[in-house]
Every structure is written in structure tokens, then in C-alpha cells.
Amino acid sequence: MTFRWAFAIGLLLIPGGLVAWGADADLGLHLKTLQAVGPQGAGHREAAQAARAAAQAAPAQLPQILAAMDGANPIALNWLAGVAEAVAQRAPGPKAVPVQQLESFLADTKHSPRGRRLAYELIANVDQTAESRLIPKLLNDPSLELRRDAVALALANAAKAEAKEDQVVSYRAALRAARDQDQIKTASDAIKKLGGTVDLPLHYGFLQTWKIIGPFDNIDDKGWDVAYPPEETIDLKAKYAGQKGEVGWIETTTSDESGIVDLTKVLDKHKGAIAYAYAEFISDKDQEVEFRFATWNANKLWLNGELLTANHIYHANMPFDQYVGRGTLRKGKNSILLKIAQNEQTEMWAQTWSFHLRVCDAVGTAVLSQDRPSATSAAVPRTVR
């Protein structure tokens, strides 16, 4: 037996098959090339070659491919996912998929949420017990997809509980973990049906109290680029020349479960008009947050005078979390300013002039102002307050 043969057989006998027959020694280089893919097609030619080569890796190398998803940009994540699935498909049988290593990968929340999700799916493809064994432990997982599956399971189990009290407790546990609107609604509706109460604006982190001013002129959409006084300075006692006369700040608090502020109720119906909504937010620390909001109307959002996002779009639906502005709250008082522009479309569906806005972290967990009045705030986890 030559040394080469002895070495090859030795590789095959290594427990766990991490350096199994067919393993690609250059895989690390290929994965780096895939990680380097950028927007506008940057790095595509090199990545196309690397993807072809990486797809020939051994199934035992799947954890290495998934680990390359850590910190990868959204486009590179998809290149890597495509490679991982191709490698898994080439596995000669379920036993070739390194389930144990993938479970270890899944358990380590330092890895990319999407890499961990893919690890779970690769396990579930070859192990029918994966869902019942693994998902219940993932109720508060940083991967929204894994969390969603766990919440779905929790909701199903809550419905099966025999005692009403047990049902309420289970639904509340599911609600605390839920971040997707449909699951939050399912849990909330069930709790209410069982006689309980739910503070949905608190769960979502909707701002409910606003100062509103307007209307300012937006005939022919000309107000979109005009910096009216609230964009220059916030003086809540000031009066300004508005579209139809003098205007001043009006405080309003919405009791809508989705935190919707209807500007036609605060300011009356106006066409070709602009309103500003202002709120203060007390943060207990410097922290990065997301301002998620929705409106049928064109809009701009500022945090402490910095423009976070502008969307010159009229009447294109108002889905939940439609727009996202990312910014950093500073410790103490922060100012949030929204510009909501209405155009002059006459269709019935184009009359809505409203918005809602919430503050949350990257997975949608509410971040609440320190001065938020809430009778139920003590009942929710610290992460939500």
C-alpha cells in the first residue's frame, strides 16, 4: 500500500467525516469569494466560478459553508445558501448529512440567523423528529424564522390546553415571543376571547401621543421639497402661516390598537396639503433602533434633525412596517418628526391621510420611551420597556 492510499483511507476513517472523501480543500477560498459579492453585480464573475466549485464540497463541509454566512451581506447570503443546498442535495443519503454538527451550529446563536435557519432546514430534510425536538426551544430565538415556527407551535399547544387559565398563560407566552403581525393577532384575539386584555400598542411600541401641525400647502405636490418651519425648528408654542390661515401645534393621542393617527380627524380633510407630526422619546441609553411606520401618503422622517428616510410615494397601500428609518437614539430626550404629504387625487381610496409609527429593535421588539404611561408595562419583559 502506497503512502497516498494509506492517507486516503485514513481520511475516510476520521470520526465525523469532517475531512471526508470528496472534501474540497479550497473551499475556504471559494467561500471568501462568495462573501465578497456586492451590489450592482460586483464580484459576480469570480463568484460564479467559486459557486460552481464550492457546490462540489462534501456534505461534511456544510457547517463551514453555513459559517461563511456570518456577517455576509444579503446578496452573498443567497449565493452561500444556493451552494449549501446544492451540496446537501448531492449527499448520497441522509446519513451523509452531518446532523450533529448542524445541530451544534443551530444551537450557537452567535452564527447568522439565516445560516442557523438553513442549518435547521437541512436537518429537518433528513430527520422527521427535528421539529418536535428543536423548535420548542427556539421561542425567543434571534432568527425570526425559527422564532416564528416556535410561536406557531406554542399557539397550537395553547389551543389544545384544557383549562382556560392554562390557555391564557400559554397564549401570553406565545404573544411575548411573537414578532409577526399575524401571530400577534392570533394570540391577542385568543386572549381577549378568554376574557383577558392585551395592550397591543405597547407590544408593538407604537407612539400614541403626537403634536400635529398643518395644513401647509402641497398643491401640485410643490410642498414636498419645501422646508416649512417645523423642519427648521420645533417650537410647540409658535404659530405659522398655513395653507388656509394660521396654524399651531395640536396634541392628539390615539387609542387605535394599531397606533393609527387619522390626520383628517385632527386637522379636517385637506387636499394638496402637508402635516407634520412631532413626538419626543426618552431613551435610557444610546441605542440603535428602527422607526417602522406606514402611511398611504408621501413622507419624510427625521430623528433629532437628521433625515432618516424620504418616500415620495402616494397611495400605494399601507402595509404594516411599510417604511423603515434606522437611527441612533441618544440617552435622554430625542425628537421625532414626520412629514405627511397628501396629494389631490380624487379617487375614494386616495382620501386617506394618516400614519402610524413604532420604535423597535432589528427583530421588531418594542423599544419604549422611559416616560411612556402604561399600566401594564411592569408585566412585560425588560427588553420591551
Chain residues that interact with other proteins, rule: CB under 8 A = 37, 39-41, 44-45, 47-48, 51-52, 55, 74-75, 77-79, 81-83, 85-86, 89, 114, 118, 121, 144-145, 148, 180-182, 311-314, 316-320, 322
Report, in Å, the least distance between residue 106 CB and other proteins.
16
Nearer Cβ to other proteins (112/254): 112
- At which residue does the C-alpha cell 412596517 appear? 321
Report, in Å, the least distance between residue 284 CB and other proteins.
29
- At which residue does the C-alpha cell 393617527 appear? 261
Report, in Å, the least distance between residue 363 CB and other proteins.
12
Nearer Cβ to other proteins (32/160): 32
CA distances from 12 to 21, 358, 370 (A): 6, 55, 60
Report, in Å, the least distance between residue 340 CB and other proteins.
16
Nearer Cβ to other proteins (287/311): 311
Report, in Å, the least distance between residue 280 CB and other proteins.
29
Report, in Å, the least distance between residue 383 CB and other proteins.
20
Nearer Cβ to other proteins (85/199): 85
What does the alpha-carbon distance between residue 363 and residue 371 come to, in Å, rounded to a whole number?
A: 23
Nearer Cβ to other proteins (64/283): 64
Report, in Å, the least distance between residue 199 CB and other proteins.
21
What does the alpha-carbon distance between residue 228 and residue 238 come to, in Å, rounded to a whole number?
A: 13
Report, in Å, the least distance between residue 76 CB and other proteins.
9
The alpha carbon torsion through 190, 193, 194, 195 (nearest 10 deg) reads 130
Cβ distance 220 to 213 under 8 Å? no
Nearer Cβ to other proteins (240/314): 314
Nearer Cβ to other proteins (49/197): 49
Cβ distance 141 to 345 under 8 Å? no
Q: Which three cell numbers stand for residue 213?
A: 401641525
Cβ distance 269 to 306 under 8 Å? no
Nearer Cβ to other proteins (266/290): 290
What does the alpha-carbon distance between residue 359 and residue 357 come to, in Å, rounded to a whole number?
A: 7
Report, in Å, the least distance between residue 316 CB and other proteins.
5
Report, in Å, the least distance between residue 210 CB and other proteins.
23
Instruction: Calculate ∠ Cα 354-276-305, nearest 5°.
Output: 125
Nearer Cβ to other proteins (33/283): 33
Nearer Cβ to other proteins (18/144): 144
